[in-house]
Structure 1
Amino acid sequence: MQETRCCSIENRDKLILRKIITYCNRIADNLNRYDHSFSAFETDHMFQDACCMCVVQIGELVGQLSEEVKRRNTAIPWRIIKDTRNFYVHAYGAIDIPSVWDTLEHDIPDVKAACEQILKAGN
């Protein structure tokens, strides 16, 4: 019985990691749709909203990962990812657009790569 519980948690983590990757891919799709144009991001609220909602979902999913996965993968800033979600949700009007852009262009690809590596390694 204990072994089954362990495996279901592991499978749940795999599902969560795949969902995180899906949201990272959605952000990449949005960036590609607008040719990675910061100018478009600054002026198009729908572009902003679409990307920010994906970041919010990623943060929500990180909060659902098991502590075991987080402990095994300490190089990933899990807490910062979750805190970013909380900031976007609770202070949307105060979001710094250049900072969001930096997150989308640099941090999200790193999160995706890290999640893919965890899945590949089985950690």
Structure 2
Amino acid sequence: MQREGLYLGEIVEAARRVTAYLEGVSPEAWDADEMRRDAVIWQLSIIGEAAGAISDETRAMAPEIPWKLIRGMRNGVVHRYFSVDWKIVYNVATKNVPELEHQVHALLRMLYPEIAARLDQRD
């Protein structure tokens, strides 16, 4: 389904934005930058929402991607925004999100090469 390819593309693009937003940003700078935290949370929400739209069949093709945890992160930052642990968000954003971008992009290349090619052109 082409729509699923678009969701996978959204995950890749949102992950790229998170990585760009945090390039060279220390944990101390992160703590002091409310606008940057808001921007990252928004992109993590997009990632989680798009991950929730991926079929079980496609998820099974990439079991290394923690689909359930991604969705759980989204739910946590959206529904428990008043108790977000910013250190956890920073760690996820700087360590897990770049890896997720590569994993989802590989899946996209396999299933929807035309969408992956468009994303590659944006690099």
TM-score normalised by length of structure 2: 0.86
Aligned residue number for residue 7 of structure 2: 16
Structure 1 Cα separation of the partners of residues 64 and 14 of structure 2: 20
Q: Which amino acid aligns with 2:4?
A: D
Q: What is the CA RMSD across the aligned residues, in angstroms?
A: 1.3
Give the corresponding residue for 1:63: 52
Per-residue displacement from partner, 1:22-45 (whole Å, max 9, x unpaired)? 10111112112xx22211110111
| Structure 1 counterpart SS, 2:7 | helix
| Alignment equivalent of 1:79, drawn from 61, 68, 77 | 68
Greater Rg by CA: 1
- What is the aligned partner in structure 2 of residue 4 from structure 1? none
Whether 1:100 and 2:66 are equivalent positions in the alignment is: no
The superposition leaves residues 75-109 of structure 1 with CA deviations (integer Å, 9 ceiling, x where unpaired) of 11100100110000011121111111100111101
Q: Return the offset for 1:73.
A: 1.3
Distance 1:29 1:102 in 2: 15
Deviation of 1:120 after TM superposition, in Å, equals: 2.0
Structure 1 position 72, deviation (Å): 1.5
| Amino acid of the structure 1 residue aligned with 2:104 | C
Indicate which of 39, 44, 56 corresponds to 1:50. 39
Structure 2 gap segments, 5+ residues each: 113-123
Q: Shift of residue 18 of structure 1?
A: 0.8
Aligned pairs, how many?
Answer: 112
C-alpha separation in 1, matches of 2:19 and 2:99: 12
Query: SS of the residue aligned with 1:107?
Result: helix
State which of 92, 109, 114 in structure 2 corresponds to 1:120. 109
Instruction: Calculate percent identity across the aligned residue pairs.
Output: 28
Which structure ranks higher in relative contact order (CA pairs < 8 Å, sequence separation ≥ 6)? 2
